[in-house]
Homo-oligomer: A and B are copies of this chain.
Amino acid sequence: MSSFNTDPKTYEFNHTMIRVKDPKVSLYFYEEILGMKLVATMENPNGKFTLYFLAYVNAEDQESLKAKSNDERRAYVFNRPGVLELTHNWGTETDADFKGYANGNSEPGRGFGHTAIIVDNIEEGSMKNIAFIADPDGYWVEVLNRAFA
């Protein structure tokens, strides 16, 4: 690990990547339902995949991102924590033989558990402080009340 020759205090946990079957469906889920913003995309025609980078963006950043190029937006998502990267391998959304991705919580494929977001109020109904919801591919998203801890 001698390659990491700078101070770990400057490191940041930047992103978590999950594969998705259909970006339209997943972007609707993470943007419209969970309130993240799609900040940047990276299309790779040779590899036949597209990457979508989402984050919770504060009002100030959102305003300044408006005038920015995709390259500048890319720089933004690679310089902050709390980024979700969705990988779309082209074709899965229309492939009848595609069996879907493992969400990591059952065999085979158990390992990855979930992502989690903090919200300010999930006290409605039966959900008190914590809830798990499934994203379109079945990945678990934990929804935590900020006051939970």
Contacts and interface: CB of A to CB of B under 8 A. Distances in A.
A37 to B, nearest CB: 9
Given A82-B13, A144-B78, A104 B112 contact: yes
A9 to B, nearest CB: 7
Interface of A: 1-19, 33-36, 55-56, 58-59, 71, 74-79, 81-85, 87, 101-104, 108-122, 124-125, 127, 131, 133, 137, 139, 142-144, 146, 148-149
A88 to B, nearest CB: 12
Contacts of A144: 14, 78
Contacts of A36: 8, 11, 13
Given A16-B116, A36-B13, A109-B109, A121 B79 contact: no
